[in-house]
Amino acid sequence: MWIGIDDTDSREGGCTTYIGFLLSGALQKYLTGFPRLVRLNPNIPYKTRGNGAVSLHFSKSAGDRIIIGKKDGEWIFSRRDNAAEEEYIPEAFTIAEKLVEDNMIKGNDQTNPGLIGGTRIPTESFYRMALEKIIDQKISYSLLEELGITHREWGNGRGITGSLASIAWRGRRITYELISYNSPNGKRLPARDKRIIGEMCESRQDTFNNMDSSGKIALFPKERTPVVYGIRSISHETLLSIQEEIGRLYPDLDRNFLIYQTNQGTDDHIIHDPEILEEGGSYSLKGRIDGVPVRGEGGHMSIPFRHEKGIMNLMAFEPSKSFRNLLQGLRPGDLVRVYGSLSRGNLKLEKINLMEISEIYRRVAPNCSACGGKTRNTGSGIYQCVSCHRKNMPAYRREQRTMVKGKYEPPAFARRHLSMPWKLEGAFSA
């Protein structure tokens, strides 16, 4: 049986993964596989923060145990599913319903939870649609009826769609996140301890998006949710090893945590070289820079980009910090492959591969070909010698480029959850 949960938080607080954590602890006798944190279309205008839904699988016929977390200092185990057929477990839906009711953000029009439970799952195409488009709720309700899925909704029930998409994910590219939750005393960590944990995570080769090259720690969210930190890796064994190290130094941080299987850092949302570009879609396009960079209001940078379907502006915004300044070094003719989301005809950049540097020549005043003296522009592209008045053709000087070929991305704290960091390139099969 599958349980899906979405949209229980708000921009001010709450966390849907915390409900998944509580549900895992309450129903571990049925829990199979890893709980799943599935990120969906990052361009949805009404998303709360990370647009992530949670799903869990339960079965009465389970095999070998695996460790996936701790609750109140006691291990949370999951099992491998041995069932030949899916079986509906009413207890699972009842407990999930109460946990959502008790832990959702209340009194906020932007929080519209959806809870589903059933033995049949949507096709993978529904997950793909939830990555790329805004899905009409009528489609979701029709799917609930078609698959015989039990559901409960709060508010306008918008979370039903994300819940369905989370159980439709097939996990073809997988990463993991270990999420630590507040222990009962609600302690917060000082900056020194955060740095120790950040450096511990960054020392592992198969972790990602935990700390950036400038030393800024990216695994601690703002202190408005139950989450203390989230460590990301392509290996759940690595996460358990890091958590063991943390527990030796900070026993309170080893009481409540859960490892989620996720689609984070996989580029699942990216469509490569599409035939048609649609507003709100996320794409990878190859083309050439077609103009000079412009700094706009608020410090964002834009630059024209031409690809086989037309021309658009590439955009990088102030929160991306050093990545935004990258655009200042690009010049017309540079060959690039870009990744980002289409918004109002512009591509909001997530990362860029600078594949070829163009040679740029600037027109300059030549020395006089007759006497070697200085020349000045007469206004028609012809340069006249100040001394002997001989007319000269202009000279051209190659611009010294500061940019070098390579792959560039925002610092870890400014990356989208779904965007694959260059560090993971090649980590997944095609």
Residue 306: pLDDT over 70: yes
Q: What residue ranges do the domains of the chain occupy?
A: 2-168, 175-262, 270-359+401-424, 362-396
The confidence band for 337, taking pLDDT boundaries of 50, 70 and 90, is: very high
Whether pLDDT at 363 is above 70 = yes
The single-letter code of the amino acid at 164 is: L
Q: Are strands 310-316 and 346-356 parallel, antiparallel or unpaired?
A: parallel
Identify which has the larger pLDDT, 266 or 320: 266
Distances (CA, A) of 258 to 69, 76, 231, 299, 319: 4, 8, 11, 39, 29
Q: Report which of 270, 237, 264 is spatially closest to residue 36, judged by C-alpha positions.
A: 264
**Range of 208-217, 260-269, 355-364, 369-378 with top mean pLDDT:** 260-269
pLDDT of residue 123: 96
**Is the pLDDT score of 207 beyond 90?**
yes
Task: Find all residues with CB under 8 Å of 51, minimum gap 6, and list them.
Answer: 39, 40, 41, 42, 44, 162
- Average pLDDT score over the chain: 91
Q: When comparing pLDDT for 339 and 45, which is higher? A: 339
Q: What is the mean pLDDT of residues 386-413?
A: 91
Residue 430 pLDDT: 54
Q: Among 110, 206, 125, which Cα is nearest to 164's?
A: 125
Is 70 exceeded by the pLDDT of residue 48? no
Task: Please report how the helices 159-168 and 137-147 are oriented relative to each other, as an axis angle in degrees rounded to 10.
Answer: 50
User: What CATH fold (topology level) applies to the domain 2-168?
Assistant: Alpha-Beta Plaits (3.30.70)
- What local confidence, expressed as pLDDT, does residue 32 receive? 95
pLDDT digits (tens, 9 = 90+) for 142-156: 999 999 999 999 988
Residue 38 banded pLDDT, cuts 50, 70, 90: very high
Q: Which residues contact 218 (CB under 8 A, 6 or more apart)?
A: 198, 209, 210, 211, 212, 411, 412, 413
**Coil/strand/helix, residue 322:** helix
Answer yes or no: same fold for 2-168 and 175-262.
yes
Q: pLDDT value at position 166?
A: 97
* Fold (CATH) for 270-359+401-424: OB fold (Dihydrolipoamide Acetyltransferase, E2P) (2.40.50)
For residues 38, 41, 46, 52, the Cα torsion angle rounded to the nearest 10 degrees is: 10
Lowest mean pLDDT among 10-19, 90-99, 384-393, 411-420: 10-19
272: Cβ contacts below 8 Å, ≥ 6 apart: 283, 284
Residue-level pLDDT at 187: 61
Residue type (1 letter), 216: K
* Percent of the chain residues topping a pLDDT of 70: 96
> Which of 163, 170, 174, 173 has the alpha carbon at shortest distance from 53?
163
pLDDT digits (tens, 9 = 90+) for 54-70: 999 999 877 889 999 99
Quote the pLDDT of residue 186: 55
Cβ distance 41 to 134 under 8 Å? yes
pLDDT at 375 over 80: yes
User: For 212-261, what is each residue's pLDDT tens digit?
Assistant: 877 889 999 876 788 999 999 999 999 999 999 999 999 989 999 999 99
* CATH number belonging to domain 175-262: 3.30.70
Query: CA 250, CA 338: separation in Å to the nearest integer?
Result: 42
pLDDT at 47 over 70: no
pLDDT at 230: 95
DSSP per-residue string spanning 27-91: TTTTEEEEEEEEE--TT-TT--SS-EEEEEEE-SSEEEEEEEEEETTEEEEEEEE--SS----HH
pLDDT digits (tens, 9 = 90+) for 115-143: 999 999 999 999 999 998 889 999 999 99
**Predicted local confidence at residue 231, as pLDDT:** 97
Instruction: State residue 223's pLDDT score.
Output: 67
Structure letter (DSSP) for residue 310: E
Do 324 and 299 form a contact (C-beta atoms < 8 A)? yes
Tokens representing residue 334 in the block: 């540079």
**Single-letter code of the amino acid located at 16:** T
Q: In sequence order, which residues have a C-beta less than 8 Å from that of residue 240 and are 6 or more positions away? A: 67, 178, 259
> Does the pLDDT value for residue 71 go beyond 60?
yes
Rounded mean pLDDT, 185-202: 85
